[in-house]
Amino acid sequence: MEKDLLNSGIHAYTRISFFLNGEAKKLEIAPGLSSLDLINKTLHLYGTKCSCNEGDCGACTVVIAHPFEGNIVYEAINSCLYPAARLHGKHLITVEGLGSDEDLHPIQTAILEHHASQCGYCTPGFVMSMFALFASIKEPDKETILAALEGNLCRCTGYQSILEAAEELAISHDPQSIVPQWCRDIEPLLFTFDTPIETINRSSESHFLIDNYYKAGSTSELIALLAAHPEAALIAGGTDVMVQVNVSRKHFKALIDLGDIPELQKISLRPDGLHIGAGVTYSQIMDSGIARCDYPAMVEIIRVIASKQIRNFGTLAGNVANASPIGDTLPLLLVYDAILLLESASGQHSLALRDFFLAYRKTALQSGEYIREIILPLPSRNAFIRSMKSAKRKSVDISAVASAIRIERDGDRIIKADLAFGGVAATPVLSTNFKDLLLKEPSLNANVIAEAVADEFTPMSDVRGSAEYRRQMVINHTLKYLEAYHG
């Protein structure tokens, strides 16, 4: 298979400048090289481990420091999925940077003292997740610690001692000792960093699954790249695209990276609603005061998407464009009446999300076009909006069924009744029966409504659940919502 992909010719490489454990680096990056491969194979640092290579285990966790909204944020990410070209202008911190055998970092000391490392394969990932946590929050509570570590698996199941190490640190550590001085020294350089990224056309023979990688620095550059490379696919966080590369061995002629475009990294409340730029990550939405206050259901569903590491670079726009019928945010975006701002060389236009999903993984996005923003009109104050997902595990699991509801009243009269599901059809869908029944016969028995909703869909069976299970989940979700609504 690899041999078939042997590809001689000109390939678009990227020349990036970044900081590694306190030192400035300038490197040429082969198209689509992951940060993990860069760390292990080019930088020859072996503390960061490869296990699943698809974002599930956290063994490859490293920390990225970069400016966001006037601060330097320290975020844990899965280096197996994080394109190395995305390191441009950032500080990459690996476990080697934190401490050495002679001089352990306080997190490593806590792990040691609590016997929280068995075979040790997962340990560097846990250390880096804890580093990001304690660099961001001084005294995290147990729930916050668990959320920070949910993307790290320990096959020896040493979780209790790992948790104890983190909990003791939470009450005993000296906050000054967590972020080393060499990290603090780099922070001003990250704020003033302005070296442009370079694309270099290189003649080479390669086994790349990605032939060419272009990183857009602005939306005008992005539009020009899309027009010049109609064969290219877009990449934002890469948490779907890089899994296709690493696991499905999908070949891309070209990828255009929009992940670090400053204009797309804004989240703002305007008169027509919440505008979420295509580069805004899940974590940034969760941390946004506006989203927490006016769109709490959005924050709640994001909390159960993937892991902290994935949420630190996966985007809402990527979830929409990926158009998976089990994308967790999509039912909620449907009931929010989300609008997509699409842009191409011909200009901008808006499209209701309801008109975006055409068939299984087929969308209304035209060639040369990208999602610039997702706009969520402000719901009325009395709107009842909830979302939930059913999956086998609480975190790092794709749902079998996801759903969202919105009911709005004018006095005693229901004027809006939307119930949307993912995982029951080829696309995320709104229930017609629910709307009709609630608007016409609002006092109808909840079981009758739930059965009518379930009758509308013909879900399929797959590894995540049988058709019967999914039908039952549709009934259960509907009943739970109606029970909560009637209080």
Ligand X SMILES: Cc1cc2nc3c(=O)[nH]c(=O)nc-3n(C[C@H](O)[C@H](O)[C@H](O)COP(=O)(O)OP(=O)(O)OC[C@H]3O[C@@H](n4cnc5c(N)ncnc54)[C@H](O)[C@@H]3O)c2cc1C
Using CB under 6 A as the criterion, which residues of the chain lie in contact with ligand FES when the complex forms? 50-53, 55-60, 78, 80, 117-123, 154-156, 158
Nearer to ligand X, 158 or 314 (CB): 314
Nearer to ligand X, 115 or 362 (CB): 362
Q: In angstroms, give the least distance from the CB of 487 to ligand X.
A: 29
Site for ligand X contains 332 (CB under 6 A): no
CB 473 within 8 A of CB 401: yes
- Determine which residue in the list 39, 116, 306, 385 makes contact with ligand X, applying CB under 6 A: 306
80 binds, among ligand X, ligand FES, none (CB under 5 to 8 A by kind): ligand FES
Site for ligand X contains 284 (CB under 6 A): no
Nearer to ligand FES, 243 or 438 (CB): 243
* Rounded distance between C-alpha atoms, residue 297 and residue 320, angstroms: 17
370 binds, among ligand FES, ligand X, none (CB under 5 to 8 A by kind): ligand X
CB 128 within 8 A of CB 76: yes
Q: What letters, b where the CB count within 10 A reaches 16 and e where it falls short, cover 298-336?
A: bbbbbebbbbbbbbbbbbbbbbbbbbbbbbbbbbbbbbb
Number of residues counted as binding ligand X (CB under 6 A): 32
Q: In angstroms, give the least distance from the CB of 99 to ligand X.
A: 28
24 backbone dihedrals φ, ψ, rounded to 5°:
-75, 140
CB 318 within 8 A of CB 236: yes
* Helix (H/G/I), strand (E/B), else coil: 375: strand
CB atoms under 10 Å from CB of 442, counted, come to: 14
Tokens of 444: 């109808």
Tokens of 163: 């948790």
* Helix (H/G/I), strand (E/B), else coil: 292: helix
Site for ligand X contains 283 (CB under 6 A): no
Site for ligand X contains 32 (CB under 6 A): no
- Count Cα neighbours of 407 within 13 Å in the Cβ-side half-sphere: 19
- Determine which residue in the list 110, 317, 374, 417 makes contact with ligand X, applying CB under 6 A: 317
CB 278 within 8 A of CB 371: yes
325 binds, among ligand X, ligand FES, none (CB under 5 to 8 A by kind): none
Site for ligand X contains 398 (CB under 6 A): yes
- Determine which residue in the list 236, 245, 274, 405 makes contact with ligand X, applying CB under 6 A: 236
CA torsion 288-275-406-433 (nearest 10°) is -140
Nearer to ligand X, 370 or 384 (CB): 370
Q: Quick one: which H or E segment has residue 254? A: strand 252-257
The residue with its CB nearest to ligand X is 318
- Determine which residue in the list 32, 314, 325, 428 makes contact with ligand X, applying CB under 6 A: 314
Q: In angstroms, give the least distance from the CB of 319 to ligand X.
A: 3
Q: In angstroms, give the least distance from the CB of 455 to ligand X.
A: 26
List 203's β-bridge partners, or say none. 10
Nearer to ligand X, 54 or 221 (CB): 54
Query: The tokens 């660099």 sit on which residue?
Result: 135
CB 239 within 8 A of CB 327: no
Q: Which of 425, 372, 403 is nearest to 482 (CA)?
A: 403
Site for ligand X contains 254 (CB under 6 A): no
Q: In angstroms, give the least distance from the CB of 128 to ligand FES.
A: 11
Q: In angstroms, give the least distance from the CB of 218 to ligand X.
A: 14
Q: In angstroms, give the least distance from the CB of 115 to ligand FES.
A: 10
Residue list 49-78, contact with ligand X (CB under 6 A): 54-56
Q: In angstroms, give the least distance from the CB of 321 to ligand FES.
A: 22
Taking CA atoms, 377 is separated from 268, 275, 294, 351, 420, in Å, by 12, 9, 10, 13, 17
Taking CA atoms, 88 is separated from 16, 66, 136, 241, in Å, by 5, 10, 22, 19
Q: Contact region for ligand X (CB under 6 A) — 174-182, 229-237, 267-275, 454-462?
A: 229-237
384 binds, among ligand X, ligand FES, none (CB under 5 to 8 A by kind): none
Nearer to ligand FES, 76 or 376 (CB): 76
* Helix (H/G/I), strand (E/B), else coil: 191: helix
* Helix (H/G/I), strand (E/B), else coil: 71: strand
List contacts with ligand X (CB under 6 A): 54-56, 233-241, 243, 258, 278, 305-306, 310, 314-315, 317-319, 321-322, 327-328, 365, 370-371, 396, 398
